[in-house]
Chain A
Amino acid sequence: MSFKHLLAAGTALAAITGLGGAALAQDEPVTITIINHESPRIEEQLARIEAAMAEKGINIDINQIGLPNAGYPDALSLRLLSGEVPDIIYFQGGDAEFAAQGILEDLRPWIAQSTYLKDALWPHNEVRLENYPYLLYVFPARTKSPVIRKDWLEQTGLAAPTSLDEWTEFLRVLSDSDYDGNGTQDTYGIIAPDNTAELDAIFNQSFGISSTWLADGNGEWIHSRVSDGEREKLEYYRMLYADGILDREFITSNWEIKEDKFYTGRVAIVAGTAGSVVDTYRTKMQQVHPDSELALLEPPDGLEAVNIAKEERGFAIHAMSDNKEAAFAFLDFMASPEGLMIDSMGYEGEHYTRDGDTYEVLPEMGLWYPRYWTVNPEYWTPPVDLLSSVAQASLEQGARYFTPDNAFVWPGELAANVDAAEQYYRSSVYRFVSGEWSMDQWDAYVQGWYDNGGQAMTDYARTVLDD
């Protein structure tokens, strides 16, 4: 640990254990500024949080700067470039450059001394914080879960698929049938919006793609995108595409189109982020087909590996803030049972009712979502089930199949290479899957990937992974 880190850790510990507590207990509230998504009723919500924190003797005034959801990362970058960096920043990408410049606080010493957060973390949070200690997002790993209408699953007459062969047969039966009853067999088995990423979540493990970097026959690290497994996987996708099982227009379908096709019966299976997104799919499907339920499907050989290099999104504290103690106190309070109740349950009488220790969820709860943490259930569970059973099962599926990936954070110097290789890979995938390129062109593709930044990536990766 460098002197700089020791100094930072010492300052944080001193702030938490001694000076800080006294400062926050003063009559005059400490004002902290948060930059985050625009959110309905946020002022009212923050007032509740301030009041609840005051009851615990933490006197802070929270000022939120809301940015639009659409294009949030871009708007945030521009806002921070103005030089006005708030105490707490919600990042949704683009944070690495700020961390590299020492602007983000190392959260580990704060969490180690926290009252609640240290117990509220998910296992993947702990690993990610060790690798990249600047961003905190207490939320289940964002794995993708495949779901289908339960009545369609029953109509196939097949058991839910488990192996790759069963998946293929199942998808083929779905695309050869007319369960939406429109008179034609025009329902696709599966769709992945924009690119094959959602298919990869389900099928990567079946083709031996167990991590981003794999050891080749000589024991050298190679990127999975130029591996034999990738080639076999693309041949599989190619077959799905050619046989009309994979939506032919997946590449021009964004997530809105994907959802629309799912609810209107033009596609049978979609993958959604475990937990809240699966719950959203269920709610929307029931708005279109009131009697329908969703069934969770099991991937053939487990879900794709989860990136543990860093959180993909989350909250950071400005390292040069004068209010770090208050900022962290806020994040820690949101992991307390009081904070979680306020954040998760919404408003009594509007989203739920309470009679003693008995809670009942009202229909409006479907419109409520927590703005901060979804903590490890071994630490805290809400007094009622906030998620549907299928959404809850998707979370459990994500936890059951959790495998850590060996991807890491790229240095800024390689940004142009990473971008070039990514663009090359994405366009090549479509050309293989659609049949525009023959699989005989695989070697040329591999060479092209190395020429388009892949070689620089591989050279750097070998220095990191061999360490």
Chain B
Amino acid sequence: MSPDEKQIALSVSGNGNVPNASERAKARAFKFRMWWPYYLMLAPGIVYFLVFHYFPIYQAKLAFQDFRIFGDNVWVGLKYFEALLGSPAFYQVLLNTLIISTMKMVFFFPVPILLALLVNEVRGSSLRRFIQSAIYLPHFLSWVVVAGIFIAALSPSSGVFNEMRGWLGLAPHGFMTDSGAIRWVVVFSSIWQASGWDSLLYFAAIMAIDPQLYDAAEMDGANRWQKIIHVTLPGIAPTIATLFILNVGLFLNAGFDQVFNLANDAVRDQIDIIDTYVYRIGLQSGQFSLATAAGLFKGAIGMLMIVAAHTIAKRLTGKGVW
């Protein structure tokens, strides 16, 4: 141990004098020398969040200004929020966003957990690898491709799904143009595209469970179902809680790419979400301030929801992310 380190150790243990400013500086420098590779690894992440998440917060002031490409923007207060809330379409857009997000939360969120549990029960390693590869694959397809697949598969005249309905004696149905069905198409296509990949985290959490717990359960006579209920699920409960809270934070991200590619005029009023509205009003109509106001509105609701979800989760499970 170097003299500096001895001095720091004495200071920390309380056996020496209270460190002066110079000693505290030395201690900080020492800690930095100890940890600098980690700080270096952290740097790209910090820069990413600063540039893409914190700097835009400052630019959100555009929602309160008339945007000028050159010169100073003009402060207009809540003008664009009033315009937004005065637009009848925005309430429908907000409602669509909440409905689709809730449907995804209820019907999508459990699927990766179930998938991870099911895959974990597959005993043959080669079969398990095959199943994992098969369910991960759609994650690598863009929404342009996935939407194309669904539009073709659900076609009333030539889609495979309607052919299957025909085998059962059912008449063809235009799911892509049915305002009652389109939200289910959105949810189901999300599940098809992303649940396999999302199950990875849960599968990793299952792998981390101590095998001795399974051995002990088996000694106690537990069958496979009981082991899932009493060992696996409690073992991954913290992961489920954490991901649930993180998902609530992204609650209003109902899926721009997905909706943009699946929408058509027949059903747009059912699945037009805040993100597609912002795109249309902001980029296509050039109303950047109005679009920023809509985006900020979405962010504010998202923040309220994550705080509420966190509070509830902490009261129910005693676990939270802060």
Contact = CB atoms under 8 A, between A and B. Distances in A.
A424 B286 contact: no
A97 interface: yes
B23 to A, nearest CB: 49
Interface stretch (A152-160, A378-386, A389-397, A425-433): A425-433
A415 B294 CA distance: 13
B283 A77 contact: yes
Contacts of A431: 266
A10 to B, nearest CB: 22
A419 B93 CA distance: 12
B88 A452 contact: yes
A425 to B, nearest CB: 9
Contacts of B90: 416
Contacts of A320: 70
Interface string B71-88: 000000000000110111
A83 B269 CA distance: 35
B283 A74 contact: yes
B290 A248 contact: no
A103 B269 contact: no
Could you tell me the dominant secondary structure of chain A's interface residues? helix
A80 interface: yes
Interface in A395-449: 412-413, 415-420, 423-424, 426-427, 429-431, 434, 436
B21 to A, nearest CB: 45
B41 interface: no
A451 B69 CA distance: 33
A427 B267 contact: yes
A81 interface: yes
Contacts of A423: 89, 268-269, 272
A434 B177 contact: yes
Contact of A195 (B70, B265, B269): B265
A416 B285 CA distance: 9
A338 interface: no
B151 A252 contact: yes
B108 interface: no
Nearest to A414: B83
Nearest to A416: B87
A419 B68 CA distance: 22
A249 B157 contact: yes
Given A195-B265, A424-B269, A249 B156 contact: yes
A417 B277 CA distance: 12
Given A98-B286, A416-B90, A427 B83 contact: no
Given A248-B156, A251-B177, A252-B177, A430 B265 contact: yes
A93 B68 CA distance: 18
Interface in B233-286: 264-269, 272, 277, 279-281, 283-286
A341 interface: no
Interface string B200-222: 00000000000000000000000
A70 to B, nearest CB: 10
A101 interface: yes
B265 A73 contact: no
Contacts of A413: 83
Contacts of A73: 283-284
Contacts of B177: 251-252, 430, 434
A417 B265 contact: no
Nearest to B79: A413
Nearest to B277: A419
A94 interface: yes
Given A249-B155, A412-B287, A420 B88 contact: yes
B83 A416 contact: yes
B272 A416 contact: no
Contacts of B287: 97, 412, 415-416
B197 interface: no
A194 interface: yes
B288 interface: yes
A342 interface: no
B285 A94 contact: yes
Contacts of A80: 69
24 contacts: A74-B283, A81-B69, A94-B283, A95-B286, A96-B286, A97-B285, A97-B286, A194-B264, A249-B156, A251-B264, A252-B151, A252-B177, A413-B83, A416-B83, A416-B86, A416-B90, A416-B287, A417-B87, A424-B89, A424-B269, A426-B265, A427-B265, A430-B265, A431-B266
Can you list the 8 inter-chain pairs with the closest CB atoms, starting with the nearest? A97-B286, A420-B89, A416-B87, A426-B265, A430-B266, A415-B287, A427-B269, A74-B283
Given A103-B70, A249-B157, A431-B266, 10 more contacts: A80-B69, A94-B285, A249-B156, A252-B176, A252-B177, A412-B287, A416-B86, A418-B285, A424-B89, A427-B269
Interface of A: 73-74, 77-78, 80-81, 83, 85, 93-98, 101, 103, 194-195, 248-249, 251-252, 320, 412-413, 415-420, 423-424, 426-427, 429-431, 434, 436, 451-453
